[in-house]
Chain A
């Protein structure tokens, strides 16, 4: 009998199978590769460029130099190396987006799980509050919060976190609703498992697929919002390098020094493109019906 059992081929599991599908998706792998390179650039920027001397120090003998061997991306109106600033800019964007995503996802997951799992009045109260937040377009809500709190990195984080929570809680609630009435959840309830244990051990892991996909795409949206808010002067403040604020400064010189606008914009686009490719691939891998 025991021998017979070992003959049964063990299933890899849905998640492992999805990862196999993801690995076969060229676009997703290209996206993941590009994104990992951007993360590496962000991590290694301090090794290649000193913040004080290369990134923020103004040098009026090197102002507005076109791309050359000394300054591969050229220099800006203060003589600062654009390559160094673009690389350091990735640190700001990725770090803020990561912090915002983690906090907003955690709060959203708790609220969404409670709403989806308990339903009834809990669901109604939480989701009506989220509806009100969602009645204001995300970017405008972030602008509204920054307008009240004032510009700055911490305030930008607060604004983006608050404006991201509703969409995360909706996704998690939806995911929880799809598995809430499954037999294994009912079985766990029947054997007397505590609600929190059921939510975190059974419900959330099984509803993870749409949450992973949306988190990847939301991460891209947050990076775009950071750049957008900094572009209109409400995000990261000078002299700290950030892609959106670099573009805002460069736009005054677009006629004669268009390269100043090219590189920060390209950096944003390539980052978002890589995340979109990865997000699309994850969606195809985790939900094969959509293929």
Chain B
């Protein structure tokens, strides 16, 4: 297993280098001279030329990228054009808020989706199955930002139970954005769990344990669920990517002070280093989460573990 984890960790290095290269390349296409943007319109041509040289903007692209990477490993993501502060300081100060939101949403979606999917499969074609799958279908079809607005309208503006936006009321502030972000993912996970569970409970070995007289709840929890979980874990992993994109929209709807909102504000303010820092942070986190999902895979599926013995 350790060999498997080390191998996956090593595979992460080229991915991160590739991702940073691509994001850096795309962002380098943004119009405007960074030196001019940093110094403002009053700067003299000499000042601009000096700063360009200092920032390495007169160097070829690949050198600039190399320099950025060296700084990145030191934790330096450049300077914001807008605030003139270090990008890393702002990104790192907001990153925990995004993690809290995404983590909370992942937790809610898994806690709700697994029983929903399992019960729907076990009680296939029952009223519970129909209702839960209609909810799941609505869940995968509803745009996160619209669902967020509906939650605000009902629970914050009409009933006054939760704050409309912001971060200052603890769990109360987290519940609506968390639910908005979780609903779509919950629906997708529940649908996959149901279909994978349906396939599993029709397998011969399940028929065998039933024939041996094992109570149905033990058949489901001990024998069926673990095998049915493999596609579910895949979907959870895939959903985390969607969760990152979704958190940008959710943070925007609920004025949540995470890096998603910081990124949108920075795009509107043409603050390229900040945008680059935010996207890199999202991408690296996504790669690390994918790695964790792969490792969990290894624990759940002995076939994967066996490949690395």
Contact = CB atoms under 8 A, between A and B. Distances in A.
Do A and B make up one complex? yes
B149 A247 contact: yes
B153 A140 contact: no
Contacts of B245: 137-140, 143, 228
A224 B143 contact: yes
A269 B252 CA distance: 19
Contact of B141 (A136, A227, A276): A276
The 3 A-B residue pairs with the shortest CB-CB distance in the complex, in nearest-first order: A139-B245, A265-B146, A132-B18
21 contacts: A131-B15, A135-B290, A137-B244, A139-B245, A143-B248, A144-B26, A145-B26, A147-B272, A147-B275, A147-B279, A148-B28, A149-B30, A228-B144, A232-B249, A233-B268, A234-B267, A254-B149, A255-B157, A265-B149, A269-B146, A276-B140
B209 interface: no
Interface in B238-290: 241-242, 244-246, 248-249, 252-253, 263-264, 267-268, 272, 275, 279, 282-283, 286-287, 290
B141 A135 contact: no
B143 A132 contact: no
Interface string B121-157: 0000000000000000110111111100110110001
A228 B15 CA distance: 27
A150 interface: yes
A139 B26 contact: no
Interface residues of B, number: 48
Contacts, number: 133
A132 B282 CA distance: 14
Interface string A249-290: 001001100100100110011001100110010000000001
Contacts of B287: 135
B110 to A, nearest CB: 19
A264 B268 CA distance: 24
Interface string A196-224: 00000000000000000000000010001
Residue with the highest number of chain B CB atoms closer than 10 Å, among A143, A247, A264: A143
A3 B145 CA distance: 66
A269 B144 CA distance: 10
A251 B153 CA distance: 10
B246 A139 contact: yes
A51 interface: no
Interface residues of A, number: 43
A247 B152 CA distance: 14
A35 interface: no
Contacts of A290: 195
A135 B22 CA distance: 11
Interface string A116-148: 000000000000100111011111100111111
A19 to B, nearest CB: 22
B233 interface: no
Nearest to B147: A265
B206 interface: no
Nearest to A220: B141
A140 B245 CA distance: 6
Contacts of A247: 145-146, 149
Contacts of A144: 23, 26-27, 275, 279
B279 A136 contact: yes
Interface in B9-67: 15, 18-19, 21-23, 26-31
